[in-house]
Structure 1
Amino acid sequence: MTTTAADTTAGTATDTAADRHAHEHAPRLAFAERVPEFYRAMIRLETAAAKDVDPTLYHLIKIRASQVNRCAFCLDMHTKDALAEGETVERIVQLSAWEESRHFYTERELAALALTEAVTVLTDGFVPDEVYATAAAHFDETELARVIAAIVTINAWNRIGVTTRMTPGHYTPRPS
């Protein structure tokens, strides 16, 4: 934005078209209204996937998969939920570059993040044995199965959100 001396002195700036946010898109489809039984099943899946998974780890998984899948709605929701539950802004910001910011995360979190990316980006090939073995070294079999369930569930939600173009920015976290 360009301001003149008069604008600066007066403490105001002229609003120009370049200063305004882009138009907010509307969702393509009211998914939950069109297939309520499926939506309720997804909620049950989410509840089952979250059972006995550390909430901090669960948020990291959901945020990272949503970043990879470019699901703006899920990013909005899960970053707000994570912040409301005590996650730091710094760890959320660094999550998109977690491999270069390893010192912000525990070894268990790093193993889960690597597994999240491998499962999310199956177009790059199968989940590498090394990634799986690292995760298996940090989680017992039941915990590992729960982490995989969390990854699968957020990927399903991401695909719904991206396909139906759910609009980000309006989600409010529920009180803990």
Structure 2
Amino acid sequence: MTTNDAGEYAPERPARLPWAELAPDVYKAMVRLEVAAKKGLDPVLVELVKIRASQVNHCAFCVDMHSKDALAAGESVERIVQLSAWEESEHFYTEKELAALALTEAVTVLTDGFVPDEVYERAAKHFEEAELAQLIAVITVINAWNRFGVTCRLAPGHYEPGMYKQ
């Protein structure tokens, strides 16, 4: 665990199910999909997208993993911390990153059952079509990983950068 030992913490909740061990073909397919999805995209942008989707989905395991991977890739603590309030902290991000974060949130939440035209058009202004297709794939894949993480209650705090190198 990476927290300070300043007092007694709540006990770690055990995972519900070791899904990757029980469905290894699905896990391997997810890993292949992950590798294919992020091809051609900036690795730091990919991590920001993964962190934000994971925050929205309350996937503590993935927030932990991708925050650590982002730090290892050279991202600043400040920009990672501000992701939870990116709309109020726009000055920390480029226009391209803001477009990616808006698209991430729209695809992840689907509140109205669709991605609004203005969000899609904003992303389309900053990404070439092939790059945009890859970005949508990354958003879709992290949402799938988040579903496994929250359903199986994977515990954060044990991941080390590069642990699941793909």
- Tell me, yes or no, whether TM beats 0.5: yes
Matched, 1:161 2:145: no
Match of 2:37 in 1: 49
Q: CA deviation at 1:50?
A: 1.2
Deviation at 1:122, TM superposition (A): 1.2
Q: Is the partner of 1:154 in helix, strand or coil?
A: helix
Per chain length, whose mean CA-contact separation is higher, i.e. which structure has more relative contact order (CA < 8 Å, sep 6+)? 2
Corresponding letter in the other structure for 1:64? R
Matched, 1:99 2:87: yes
Counterpart for residue 105 of structure 2: 117
Residue 51 of structure 1 aligns to a residue whose secondary structure is: coil
Deviations 1:114-143 (CA, angstroms, capped at 9, x unpaired): 000000001343100000000001111101
**What is the distance in 1 between the residues matched to 2:63 and 2:128?**
28
2:71 is the alignment partner of 1:83: yes
Are 1:142 and 2:130 counterparts? yes
Aligned structure 1 segments of 4 or more residues deviating by more than 2 angstroms: none
User: Per-residue deviation at 1:174?
Assistant: 1.9
- Quick check: 1:35 aligned with 2:23? yes
Q: Equivalents in 2 of 1:29, 1:57: separation in Å?
A: 31
The whole-number CA distance in structure 1 between the counterparts of 2:73 and 2:127 is 23
Mapped partners of 1:165, 1:123: distance in 2? 24
Match of 1:26 among 6, 11, 14: 14
1:85 positional shift: 1.1
1: distance between equivalents of 2:101 and 2:157?
25
Q: Identity over the aligned pairs, expressed in percent?
A: 69
Deviation of 1:147 after TM superposition, in Å, equals 0.5
Which entry has the higher C-alpha Rg, 1 or 2? 1
- Report the CA distance between 1:39 and its aligned residue: 0.3
Query: 1:85-137 CA deviation, whole Å, 9 max, x = no partner?
Result: 11000000001100110010000000000000000001343100000000001
RMSD: 1.4
2:57 corresponds in structure 1 to 69
Question: Which runs of no fewer than 5 residues in structure 2 stay unpaired?
Answer: 1-5
Q: Deviations over 1:29-70 (max 9, x none)?
A: 001111000000000000001111100110010000000000
**Aligned residue number for residue 121 of structure 2:** 133
CA–CA distance in structure 2, aligned partners of residues 87 and 140 of structure 1: 24
Cα distance in 1 for partners of 2:21, 2:87 equals: 39
